[in-house]
Amino acid sequence: MNPAVADLPARRERSTAEWQAADAAHYLHPFTDFKSLANKGSRVITRADNLYLWDSDGHKIFDAMSGLWCVNVGYGQQALVDAATAQLKELPFYNSFFQTATPPAIELAELLAEVSPESFQHVFFSGSGSEGNDTVVRMVRRYWDLHGQPQRQILISRHNAYHGSTMAGASLGGMSDMHAQGGLPIPGIAHIQQPFWFAHGRSMSREDFGLVAAGWLEKKILELGPQNVAAFIGEPVQGAGGVIIPPSTYWPEVQRICDRYGILLVADEVICGFGRTGNWWGSETLGFRPDLMTFAKGVTSGYIPLGGVMVGERVARTLIDQGGDFNHGYTYSGHPVACAVGLANIRLIQREGLVERVRTDTGPYLAELFASLADHPLVGEAQTLGLMGALQLVRDKSSGTLFDPSLAVGMVCRGHCFGNGLIMRAVGDRMIIAPPLVITRGQIDELGQLIRRCLDLTLTDLRTRGWL
């Protein structure tokens, strides 16, 4: 070993209080009220294996969120560690800017084409999902420039969508709290309502509502002028927005509308990609054929940052055949270590048959569990698709009446989950999960027991507070 490395001090073991003090003194966390976290103290996660995390007090936690929707193969996969280690030794970095490339980036591009629908033969790498969506904005505008329609600038997205936190990503996203800071959205982005049946469509059947919600896209296109619209972007299933699973009629109708006006269709597959919905891509499960697909997270199971855009033939042919320089890219586009981990990750998913397992075994089994949780007095709607699930908490089950949002009932439930060793997220009053794809039937049973216990504790708590 390099003597300089041997001399490095090992990481100092610290108590939770010491970690929290140092954290509060120096570390600004994403999407966080810094002052309130500093007063409360972070939960410090120190290690992980399979589906489980341990915190600095030694508590074991069932991670039903796969880190942040990304650890698809679960924690502790030696093949990914070995791939990173070998690549770090051989070639830790080289760029792809000046007519150079590295073997892992080339091989990963090849493998991504293999696991994608036939029309996707090319990829543009980024370092994250947000950067991937910045690439999308630049790429679709470049596409229309090359087609002699530079006025086609506008990308249409949806309220309550999440497309990242860069200027373009946050603008494409439909989170009002994000738009409220920093002068967003940037020009050339328009939003329509989301296809959220429970919130916006309960007066009609899901299928009818799906067509109505897709119709909002057509209405917006006509309002803006089809000649000005570059693309429509959406997550096949909205993740951060609360696992909003659209009616089956929605995406095929969106496809028809985009085709009708020649508008590019972009699937943000950052959460849905790499097996989450039971196919390699969420758009395959939801029945549409995008022109571009943004990915990140599951491409490396979160072991190392990597993202990108799968570029379908329609756009690729234009960029390649008529293009000239595309003046866009990141230092870490095609980072060799990240790509080596991506390769090991995808090969592992293939070898273990995880995508098929989600589609034919664990996905349907999770659906059965959620169907059984639907009888709980707090649950107004229980939905899953593959290994994503949402429980809508309601004040009155028979009428589906929601709680007053200011009570933040979802956070009460989340508190009980945390206290009982379960990470389940709250988005408003929707409790959501997206466990690693390696989850077994036995672990789904374990998850079911934990969720039911936390729902029961929440019910008792709400009654004690007089909120029910």
Binding site for ligand PXG (CB under 6 A): 68, 128-130, 133, 162-164, 169, 235, 239-240, 268, 270-271, 296, 307
Cβ-based nearer residue to ligand PXG, 77 or 238: 238
The candidate with the shortest Cα–Cα distance to 423, out of 59, 144, 129, 128, is 59
SS3 assignment, position 307: strand
Shortest separation between residue 282's beta carbon and ligand PXG, angstroms = 10
* Nearest approach, Cβ of residue 163 and ligand PXG (Å): 5
Helix (H) or strand (E) holding 461: helix 441-465
Q: Is 277 helix (H, G, I), strand (E, B) or coil?
A: coil
Least distance to ligand PXG from the beta carbon of 425, Å?
6
Phi-psi region of 204 (alpha: psi -120 to 50; beta: other; left: phi over 0): beta
- Shortest distance in whole angstroms from residue 403 CB to ligand PXG: 20
CA distances from 213 to 62, 71, 194, 206, 293 (A): 36, 32, 7, 10, 22
CB 436 → ligand PXG: shortest distance, Å?
16
Burial (CB < 10 A; 0-12, 13-18, 19+), residue 23, is middle
Mapping DSSP to helix (H, G, I), strand (E, B) and coil, where does residue 285 land?
Answer: helix
Report the chain's terminal Cα–Cα distance, integer Å. 63
d(CA 163, CA 253): 22
Give one DSSP letter per residue of 65-82, joined into a string. THHHHT-TT-B--HHHHH
Under 8 Å between Cβ of 104 and 333: no
Distance CA 260, CA 445 (A): 46
Q: Which residue is nearest to ligand PXG (CB)?
A: 129
Is residue 42 within 8 Å of 33, Cβ to Cβ? no
**Of 68 and 367, CB closest to ligand PXG:** 68
Q: Which sign does the torsion angle of CA 218, 221, 227, 231 carry?
A: negative
- DSSP per position, 318-387: HHHHH--------TTTT-HHHHHHHHHHHHHHHHHTHHHHIIIIIHHHHHHHHHHHTTSTTEEEEEEETT
Q: Which is nearer to ligand PXG, 137 or 270 (CB)?
A: 270
- Nearer to ligand PXG (CB atom), residue 62 or residue 162: 162
Identity of the residue, 68 or 199, whose beta carbon is nearer to ligand PXG in the bound complex: 68
Query: Least distance from C-beta 12 to ligand PXG, angstroms?
Result: 29
- Nearest to ligand PXG of 417, 462 (CB atom): 417
Report, in Å, the least distance between residue 410 CB and ligand PXG.
Answer: 13
Cβ 338 to ligand PXG shortest distance, Å: 12
Residue 305 Cβ vs ligand PXG, minimum distance, rounded to whole Å: 7
Classify the phi-psi angles of 451: left when phi > 0, otherwise alpha if psi is within -120 to 50, otherwise beta: alpha
Question: What DSSP designation does 402 have?
Answer: P
Q: Which is nearer to ligand PXG, 247 or 308 (CB)?
A: 308
CB of 169 to ligand PXG, least distance (A): 6
CA 280 to each of CA 241, 271, 431: distance values in angstroms, whole numbers, following the listed order = 21, 11, 25
Closest to ligand PXG by CB, 221 vs 270, is: 270
Residue closer to ligand PXG (CB basis): 195 or 307: 307
Residue nearer to ligand PXG on the CB measure, 69 or 365: 69
Instruction: Write down the least CB distance from residue 321 to ligand PXG, Å.
Output: 29
Would you say how long the chain is, in residues? Answer: 468
288, 290, 294, 300: CA torsion to nearest 10: 60
Nearer to ligand PXG, 318 or 435 (CB): 435
The candidate with the shortest Cα–Cα distance to 241, out of 193, 292, 275, is 193
